[in-house]
Amino acid sequence: MENYLSNVPTWVSISFSFVFPITIYFIAKTIKQGAINSLMSDSQASKLFRGVFLFFVLYLIYVSVMAFTGLLSENVLPPRVLVFTTLPLMIFLFGFIFNKPIYWKILDGIPLQSLVRLHRFRFVGVYFLFATYFGALPAHFAILAGLGDMATALGSIFVAKAIEENKSWSRKATLFWNIFGFWDISSVIVSAILTARYSIQHPESQSIVEITKFPFVWIPAFAPAVIIFMHITIFKKLKREVIVTL
């Protein structure tokens, strides 16, 4: 079991384990508020909150169990963490949630600034920098992932504030910020696959197996699918608001 725990100092792993699940709470809370704004009853909104929160908690438990089996830690292509966690979650979000009428109803009830502000959780990208500092991840991969996430998180604060203050340029800023955030997560996925392929071809090079170990396995298992879903949701929100305005 020891081999499937992160090699970074214990304080880094513990702090990450406490910080990361907060993301689930804020996602569930935003959905609850959207449900209330959509004139759903308080009991229905609370039920949604509990359902979303419980789903992601159980999902992270599943991912953790998978990590401790060692199945995800083999340096192969395609990366098993994508095959057994990321892709199934993405299929669920885009294949099931997108087709539920309640998704669109709640989307109309969530203010645009709330959707943007959710991306503050991407400040957890600092843990990529911790990982490379302590020699657990290749610098070229971790720095790209960490700084990109942190820039997106920082930008979300200013963009959300501009939306709230109804700045004339806020919609354009939201669109450009959303494109950047989508590009960032997409580039991280591509970089991870390319780095994995290179490390397989050159066994002497450093791999990214560290992010398949507990607790950092939560990042590739949760973040790509959820972040892409969130960015697409913002694109949808922008489009629906234009239609309503017309």
d(CA 49, CA 238): 24
Which residue, 124, 147, 144, is CA-closest to 194? 144
Q: Is 230 in contact with 115 (CB distance < 8 Å)?
A: yes
What sign results for the dihedral spanned by CA atoms 8, 10, 14, 15?
Answer: negative
pLDDT tens sequence across 90-149: 999 999 999 999 999 999 999 999 999 999 999 999 999 999 999 989 999 999 999 999
pLDDT tens sequence across 52-79: 999 999 999 999 999 999 889 888 888 8
d(CA 218, CA 154): 22
Query: Is the pLDDT score of 243 beyond 60?
Result: no
Amino acid residing at 176? F
Beta-ladder partners of 5: 214
pTM summary value = 0.93
Q: What single DSSP character describes residue 77?
A: S
Q: Is 130 in contact with 13 (CB distance < 8 Å)?
A: no
Cis bond before residue 215 (omega within 30° of 0): yes
Strand, coil or helix: 75: coil
Instruction: For helices 170-201 and 218-245, give the axis angle rounded to 10 degrees.
Output: 150
Range from 4-13, 16-25, 73-82, 200-209 that averages highest in pLDDT? 16-25
